[in-house]
Structures are given as structure tokens and as C-alpha cells.
Structure 1
Amino acid sequence: MDIALIPARSGSKRIKGKNIKPFLGMPIMAYPIKAALAAGCFDKVVVSTNSKEFGEVALSCGAEVIFRPEELSDDHTPLAPVIEHGIKELQGQGHHVERACCILSTAPFVRPSDISKAKEMLVERNVGAVFSVTSFPFPIFRGLKMSEDGTVSMFWPEHELTRSNDLPDGYHDAGQFYWLDAAKFLSEKKVYMADALGFVLPRYLVQDIDTPEDWHRAELMYRVLQESGEVEL
């Protein structure tokens, strides 16, 4: 079976109750749940949480729930052990998990069509992982660092005179979803496998939400994307 696994722990410090905080009138966790359900490519959509309250919200949005221990729910827990726990919990219930897609709980811009297209990439290319990426808006090889006294210098001074259009594009994790071949993932226990492919998203669909300012910016972005039809929920 193919599963969507949405990690949603309680205990966020910068935005209290972040995973169930209303985002334009709906708990933010509801957006990835609804996107996963609408994608039509999952046998189960499951929220992994340490919170009874979060679990109840997940159920009301149409997801199933598994509870994970507190040692996998602190600020320093990486994503891979949470995914591993979710897969093994379902395996322990007698399910054969062939593929898992971890969708982040605070990803309101995730689109059902992108989820399903990324699955096609995973299957057709027979790789261990496909995850969302987006490009940096400026060439990373022209990046600057700043010392304690405020002076700046280039990370790669050899590119000071290189034209921007002669430099390769740089990409970063877009923080939306991670499709995984379950067997390969359980063997390697990491998301960034050697054969991982990037599913490229436009920058206007990507926004980390870590602070109240990020949250406000994301809501403004979402309203515009709704009006233009770029988001699907």
C-alpha cells in the first residue's frame, strides 16, 4: 500500500499550537490532509502525533492517527526516525507499506497534482526518494558572509567576476513532501538518498512558516494564489 504520513507534534515554541492554529479559517494541518486525500494516490492518510488534541483535529479532517512516543516528539527529533516509526507502526498492524509520502503539517501550499506527479517520478525512475525543491532566487556562488565586525566577503571569491547566467542554479528543500520507497528508506534510514530526485516547485508556492511573520506572509500569499487559481484547495 501507499501511505501519506503527516507528522504533527505538539510543543511548538515560536508559534503556540502551530499545527492546529487556524490558517485563513482552517487548521493549518487540514491543508496537507485534504491535499493528500484529493491526490487520490493513497490507501491511507495518517497523521503521526504525540497529542490527543491534534489527533482529534486530524480525525475531523478525514485522516487516521497513530501516536508516537515523546522521545520522537521534541525540538531536535529529525524527520527520518518519525517516518520510520510511522511505517513500522502500520507494518505492525499487518499492512505492507510499499511507498510512503511524508507531507509536512504546515505546508498549506502543497497541491494534490504535485503529490501525484511526484509519485509518478518515483515509480517511473525506480528511485529511493523524490522530494520537493525550489530554486534560490540568487546564484548561491555569489553568496556573502559577514564577520562579527560587519565586514562582508564572498564564500566563493573565485566567482566575483563570473556572470550570474554562467553559474548553475542552486536549489533547496521546499519543505512540502517526501516520497519514499519504503524498503529502501528502512534500509538507509534517511530521506536524502543517493538516488533522490528533486521535484521542482516555483518559488511563489514555497514559504517556510517558523515565525508569526512567516505565518502572516503565508496567508497573504495564499489569498493571492487562491484568486489566481494556483492553489487547488
Structure 2
Amino acid sequence: MSAIAIITARGGSKRIPRKNIKEFCGKPIIAYSIEAAIGSGIFDEVMVSTDDEEISQIALGYGAKVPFLRSEKLSGDYATTSDVLFEVLDEYEKRGQSFDIGCCIYPTAPFITSDKLKEAGTRFRESDADSLIPVVPFSYPPQRCFVISDDKLNFKYPEYLNTRSQDLEKEYHDAGQFYFFRTKNFRKSGNLLLGNVIPMVVDEMEVQDIDNLTDWQIAELKYKLMADKTGI
């Protein structure tokens, strides 16, 4: 089955300017996603969807393809990932190329490795799933959360007040790194998170949401720890 890796990297970023190409532990952060995808050897095409010429040149320098720039209508704050994936698949089909499997990879996910992509890709190909998503357990049980109302603190789920944390069902959230999907099914549903979805559980130390500079610094510390541990 033919496969394409689509790295989504628009130019605009308000909270961290030029976030997708900001230096992270010695190189542009997008380089980690590109190198992991190429190094995995499981993709027929590794491309970057961007509206930005500088990002395009950096992506090309690290070996990705940028056969076209993202349309203006999908370059704003409200464009969805699904919209971008549809545009990429449509543009490739116009050029006579289609793919059975897609993998949407975020450009600010330096914890992605070639081995992780190979493992996920193998698991996905051997399944009948519509998509595969890396997930990470919540570090604290959401069932024991509080809410604030009228300046008072209350349990959101009082039924779990006396339940031990270890007795609560483990819950997970999206790791925000990559998504494998079958292109035919995606075209029908338009959604990567619904349908027959299988998980890939990843360690909390290999996940970091990067929304501000403090997040960035934490991510660099985590990355250095992971690099020391694994030798990447």
C-alpha cells in the first residue's frame, strides 16, 4: 500500500513567532519530524504543507518535498487539519498520484522517531482500523478534578470522592504528534478521530504540548533526557 507523510506547517504563529522553524536543541524543530518520516523508510512521499517560503526552503533542505504551497484560504488561524489534508490529497490526485495510507505529522513534535513511526505504521497496516493515534495517560485522574463556581472549590465528580486513584479507570488524551489514516475512509468521514481508531500508548516523558516559551523549555529538557536515555 502506498503511503504519504504530510507535515502541516503554516507560517503564522502568534504565541511563539516562527514556531515551526524555531531552533530546538540545535536545529529547526520541523527538522525532527522530517528526519523521522524519511528515516522510517515507510513512506513513498514525505511532504510539507506550508504557505511560507522560508519554511518551504528549510523543509527542502532537510529532504522533504514541497510540490505546492498551501492555499491562502487554508493559511489562517481557523483552517482545520482535515481541511489541509483534503487539499494535499486533492492536489496530488491532480498530479496523477494517490495514496492508500496517509500520516499527518505535526511540525513541533521532536519526540517522534523513525522507530516510533515504523512501529505505528506496522501496527496500523496489520489492522483494519480507520486511523491510529498516539495517546498518553493523564498524569492525574480526571475523575478527581475540581471546578470553581462562585469562588468555591467543588468536586466535578463527587461520586469519586472516596475512590482511590489506582482504582479509577485510566484515561488518555491525544499526544498531538501524528495520525495514521486510510485515505479512502478519511475522505468519507472527514475526521481522523472518529470511527475505528486504535491507540498507540506513548510515555509521558515523550510528550509535550508546546504553546508558549515555558512549554518550549520543558520540551527541550525532556528531549535531552530522552536523547541521553535512547542515544538518538
> Which residue number in structure 2 is paired with residue 40 of structure 1?
41
Instruction: Determine helix, strand or coil for the equivalent of 2:176.
Output: strand
Moved more, 50-59 or 74-83: 74-83
1:1-233 residue pairs with structure 2 within 5 A? Answer: 1-65=2-66, 66-147=68-149, 149=151, 151-229=152-230, 232=232
Matched residue type, 2:159? E
Query: Unpaired runs of 5+ in structure 1?
Result: none
1:17-76 Cα offsets, whole Å, 9 max, x none, are: 111111111000000000001111000100000111110110001000131112112112
Q: Which runs of 4+ in 1 moved over 3 A?
A: none
**RMSD (Å) for aligned C-alpha atoms:** 1.1
Indicate conservation of the 8 Å contact 2:47/2:64, yes or no: yes
Number of matched pairs: 230
Distance 2:79 2:155 in 1: 33
Q: CA deviation at 1:222?
A: 1.1
1:63-90 Cα offsets, whole Å, 9 max, x none, are: 0013111211211222111111111111
Query: Unpaired runs of 5+ in structure 2?
Result: none
Matched residue type, 2:79? T
Q: CA deviation at 1:148?
A: 5.1
Matched residue type, 2:29? I
Distance 1:192 1:19 in 2: 24
Instruction: Determine helix, strand or coil for the equivalent of 1:119.
Output: helix
Distance 1:5 1:77 in 2: 15
Distance 2:196 2:156 in 1: 28
Indicate conservation of the 8 Å contact 2:5/2:47, yes or no: yes
Moved more, 25-34 or 189-198: 189-198
Matched residue type, 2:64? A
Distance 2:154 2:23 in 1: 42
Distance 2:13 2:99 in 1: 30
Matched residue type, 2:57? E
Instruction: Determine helix, strand or coil for the equivalent of 1:120.
Output: helix
Distance 1:75 1:153 in 2: 35
Instruction: Determine helix, strand or coil for the equivalent of 2:110.
Output: coil
> Percent identical across equivalent pairs?
38
Matched residue type, 1:16? P
Instruction: Determine helix, strand or coil for the equivalent of 2:48.
Output: strand
